[in-house]
Amino acid sequence: MKRLIVLWKIVKNDGRVLWRALRRPDRPRWLLPATVLLALYALAPFNIAVPLVGIVDDGVLVPLLLHLIVQCLPMRFRVARTG
């Protein structure tokens, strides 16, 4: 259960970083297409056709890909703003 809580905190933080980065006008060109592809992958029809595989897939690959996208961002996008 502790691992799920840690995973949730990482995903939540990565989601916030990604959201802030998407709203910036100086975001990398690849960020929007990568985010759209990740969203399409998470909502793929295969997940509906085979529910158990889709749940495992979304529970493992989507958070990993989200974290990879955030890690590929320049440091200025990943640093939390103060003030």
Task: Give the model confidence (pLDDT) of 9-45 as tens digits.
Answer: 888 999 999 999 999 999 999 999 999 999 888 887 6
Domain encompassing residue 64: 2-78
Instruction: Name the percent of the chain in helix, strand, coil, to the closest 5.
Output: 80, 0, 20
Q: Does residue 44 lie within any of the structural domains? A: yes
Q: Residue 83 has which token pair?
A: 């003030």
For the chain, what is the domain count?
Answer: 1
- Tell whether the torsion through CA atoms of 10, 45, 35 and 18 is positive or negative: negative
- Count the alpha carbons within 13 Å of 30 in the hemisphere toward its beta carbon: 6
Domain for residue 83, yes or no? no
Position 72 in a domain = yes
Within-domain flag for 16: yes
Between CA 18 and CA 12 the distance in angstroms is 10
Q: What's the pLDDT score for residue 82?
A: 44
> How large a percentage of the chain has pLDDT more than 90?
42
Computed over every residue of the chain, the mean pLDDT equals 83
Judged by DSSP in three states, 3 sits in helix
* Length of the chain measured in residues: 83
More confident residue, 49 or 16: 16
Does this model's pTM top 0.75? My answer is yes
